[in-house]
């Protein structure tokens, strides 16, 4: 408290945040302290601490807080392979979040989902396509996930030197990707090699490079330790090795899992004490109130609670919650920015860039806008809800594929028939769909999945993970019915994970992967179908031919998983996507053919649009360590760049391979660079027979070097 005006130090904006936080905590009773460590924190009126709910969502737009711009689901964002665009999305989301928060405060609304601490992004590795929550991730690759996670966190948290715009919360730390049905008691067993090579890189980068203020723990155990109370993850790795100084929040109900399902301890008091002592600061759930009794039982010291509380209030102070609004730049963002024209335009652009063209036999697409009749059929052809994914907001207007097609060819006769439901055995609509297709010049069949089929445990009854990667039987019957009419068929997929569409690949004239594309889905899909937009998205996951190509779901070893370790030929490779134009590569050059451990390699390649229309190419760099002494990935993505080229235009693209990108994980768990040959491949996809890619090698000479 300053003597001159009796103002408590925690209210003095001229003082450092640390000093203000400590002053505030020193004035609290133990009961008040504990009350601030759950997601729904009550007001402490005598100290002027307002009520606050820490639970807020913005996976692909501000969620569950009324009207907001809804961008493509996270897996669709990753399919853009465009981190600059991703950053723009995050800035738009954070603008809307700030505007909504301050508008709510002006109306004395402090409800859930109107705060500034957001539990996103989900940077878990989509290691198995059966996982229902994989749609929330940026795919199966650690490097792609890292670059998208960093771009998103930076865009959410802002760049003001004093204030955080929002708090981003990468989740679920750290080894977490199903099965959903057993997540509350599951123990993910993982080697040190897979941990460092696959499961941790994106979290490390979000902490060290993007400066994420918060981390959310996972429900499961990892190697025997509950992720929300494990000293290895939360203390040794996160804080000691990476230097994380922010706060950790539990997943919702995860602290009660510690005694109810993991059976690591027997009581709520023990579970709460174990979590806080090991570094979990905030409980989404109802277990941390037991800390009050845990102190009296000697299970935890009040100093441990103070440490957690300091991390929490540091975030609230840095968000400007205890400062006059006119001193916080982000508090001035007007509510009119929410769902504004600029953000709707951005949502359309992202939707366009997320779409992946999987098949285009004899250049069947784009369709002629002078088409006389078109049939639009399928359970996902005219359903707004399916476009929005999960953890979604509510758009003021969303366009279904049917609406998009009608808008882009208003003169054509558009015949619509739902045909069937997403699942089940009702065939009564197939005849109507067949009739519509038989009378049309082309049939666009919009099939796929929805949150009723894939999603989070408990989100929808009987939904979650998938055992079968094929389309549901009734949808396969719909496709066969349309094929039998003889009308050329274009298949549009709306889904959040890989589908084994082998039959469609053999029988459809074209296949378009559209994901859960958000509010602008229908417009973007129609623009692609009719050539107003040339698709340039690429797959952020491998599309396998069947689940038979996968190891057991519960096995967290990366052996045989994803493009990095899979020897079988998939249906569509990670990084795959077609265009309405063509690209050629030449002049691949490396700055050195021989380097020492710790040196970098500069790589350049020339890319030319050799077709007749403008288009986007995603230049992909893969690295293979061909002489490693321990198991390593077959190849790994280590660079990518999405570029736009006009017909005939040529551009030189540059990459830099840093020493850490040449590392392997040795048998001691250390990151080392070994002498040996490395193969670099640069092109429009992975190296493969007939692939549009160039390759060269370089050699690392000298002694094996530990770099971490």
Which residues are catalytic, by number?
251, 454
Residues 480 and 436 sit within 8 Å (Cβ to Cβ): no
For residues 135 and 132, what is the distance between their CA atoms, to the nearest angstrom? 7
Identify the three-state secondary structure at position 41: strand
**E strands present in 101-259:** 117-118, 167-168, 187-188, 214-216, 221-222, 225-226, 247-249
Closest CA to 637 of 112, 58, 144: 144
Both tokens of 539, joined, read: 């797959």
For residues 375 and 373, what is the distance between their CA atoms, to the nearest angstrom? 7
For residues 525 and 652, what is the distance between their CA atoms, to the nearest angstrom? 31
Closest CA to 268 of 281, 278, 283, 279: 283
Residue positions counted in the chain:
708
For residues 161 and 142, what is the distance between their CA atoms, to the nearest angstrom? 29
Residue-wise burial string across 521-538, b where 16 or more C-beta atoms lie within 10 A, e elsewhere? bbbbbbbbbbbebbbbbb
Please give the C-alpha separations between residue 505 and each of 421, 439, 569, 677, in angstroms, as whole numbers.
22, 24, 15, 37
- Burial of 467 per CB tally in 10 Å (0-12, 13-18, 19+): exposed
Q: Is the preceding omega at residue 366 within 30 degrees of 0, hence cis?
A: yes
Both tokens of 337, joined, read: 């920015």
For residues 680 and 346, what is the distance between their CA atoms, to the nearest angstrom? 35
Residues 505 and 336 sit within 8 Å (Cβ to Cβ): no
Beta bridge partners of 248: 215
Q: Running DSSP on this structure, what letter comes out for residue 408?
A: H
């Amino acid at each position: 408290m300053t003597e001159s005006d009796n103002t408590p130090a925690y209210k003095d904006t001229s003082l450092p945040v640390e000093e203000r936080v400590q002053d505030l905590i020193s004035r609290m009773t133990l009961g008040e302290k504990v009350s601030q460590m759950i997601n729904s924190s009550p007001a402490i009126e005598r100290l002027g601490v307002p009520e606050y709910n820490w639970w807020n969502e913005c996976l692909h737009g501000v969620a569950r807080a009324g009207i907001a711009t809804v961008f493509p689901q996270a897996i669709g964002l990753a399919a853009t392979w465009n981190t600059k665009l991703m950053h723009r999305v995050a800035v738009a989301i954070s603008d809307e979040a700030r505007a909504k928060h301050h508008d709510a405060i002006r109306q004395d609304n402090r409800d859930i989902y109107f705060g500034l601490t957001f539990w996103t992004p989900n940077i878990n590795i989509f290691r198995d396509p059966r996982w229902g929550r994989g749609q929330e991730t940026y795919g199966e690759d650690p490097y792609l996930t890292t670059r998208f996670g960093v771009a998103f966190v930076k865009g959410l948290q802002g760049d003001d030197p004093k204030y955080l715009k929002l708090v981003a919360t990468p989740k679920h730390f750290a080894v977490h990707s199903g099965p959903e049905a057993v997540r509350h008691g599951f123990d993910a067993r993982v080697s040190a090699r897979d941990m460092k090579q696959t499961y941790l890189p994106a979290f490390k980068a979000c902490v060290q490079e993007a400066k994420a203020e918060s981390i959310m723990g996972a429900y499961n155990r990892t190697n025997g330790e509950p992720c929300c109370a494990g000293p290895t993850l939360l203390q040794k790795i996160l804080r000691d090795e990476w230097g994380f100084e922010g706060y950790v929040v539990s997943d919702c109900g995860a602290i009660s899992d510690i005694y109810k399902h993991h059976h690591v301890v027997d009581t709520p008091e023990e579970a709460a004490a174990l979590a806080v002592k090991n570094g979990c600061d905030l409980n989404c759930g109802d277990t941390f109130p037991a800390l009050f009794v845990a102190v009296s039982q000697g299970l935890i010291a009040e100093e441990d609670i103070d440490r957690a509380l300091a991390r929490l209030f540091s975030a609230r102070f840095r968000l400007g919650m205890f400062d006059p609004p006119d001193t916080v730049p982000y508090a001035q963002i007007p509510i009119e920015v929410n769902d504004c024209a600029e953000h709707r335009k951005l949502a359309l652009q992202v939707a366009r860039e997320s779409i992946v063209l999987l098949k285009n036999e004899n250049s069947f697409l784009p369709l002629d806008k002078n088409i006389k009749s078109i049939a639009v059929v399928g359970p996902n052809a005219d359903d707004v809800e399916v476009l929005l994914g999960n953890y979604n907001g509510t758009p003021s207007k969303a366009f279904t594929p049917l609406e998009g097609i009608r808008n882009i060819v208003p003169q054509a006769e558009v015949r619509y028939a739902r045909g069937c439901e997403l699942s089940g055995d009702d065939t009564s609509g197939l005849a109507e769909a067949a009739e519509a297709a038989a009378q049309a010049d082309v049939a666009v069949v919009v099939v796929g999945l929805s949150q009723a089929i894939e999603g989070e445990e408990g989100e929808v009854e009987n939904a979650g993970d998938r055992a079968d990667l094929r389309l549901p039987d009734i949808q396969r019957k719909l496709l066969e019915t349309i094929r039998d009419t003889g009308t050329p068929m274009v298949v549009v997929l709306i889904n959040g994970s890989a589908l084994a569409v082998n039959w469609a690949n053999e029988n459809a004239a074209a296949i378009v992967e559209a994901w859960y594309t958000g509010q602008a889905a229908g417009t973007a899909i129609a623009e692609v179908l009719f050539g107003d937009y040339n698709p340039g998205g690429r797959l952020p996951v491998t599309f396998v031919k069947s689940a038979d190509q996968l190891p057991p779901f519960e096995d967290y070893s990366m052996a045989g998983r994803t493009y990095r370790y899979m020897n079988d030929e998939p249906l569509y490779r990670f990084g795959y996507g077609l265009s309405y134009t063509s690209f050629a590569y030449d002049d691949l050059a490396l700055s050195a053919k021989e380097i020492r451990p710790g040196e970098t390699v500069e790589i350049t390649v020339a890319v030319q649009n050799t077709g007749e229309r403008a288009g986007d190419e995603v230049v992909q760099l893969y690295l293979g360590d061909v002489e490693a002494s321990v198991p390593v990935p077959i190849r790994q993505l280590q660079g990518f760049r999405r570029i736009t080229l006009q017909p005939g235009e040529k551009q030189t693209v540059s990459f830099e391979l840093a020493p850490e990108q040449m590392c392997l994980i040795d048998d001691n768990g250390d990151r080392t660079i070994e002498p040996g040959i490395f193969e670099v491949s640069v092109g429009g996809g992975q190296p493969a027979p007939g692939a549009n890619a160039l390759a060269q090698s370089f050699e690392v000479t000298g002694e094996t070097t530990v770099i971490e």
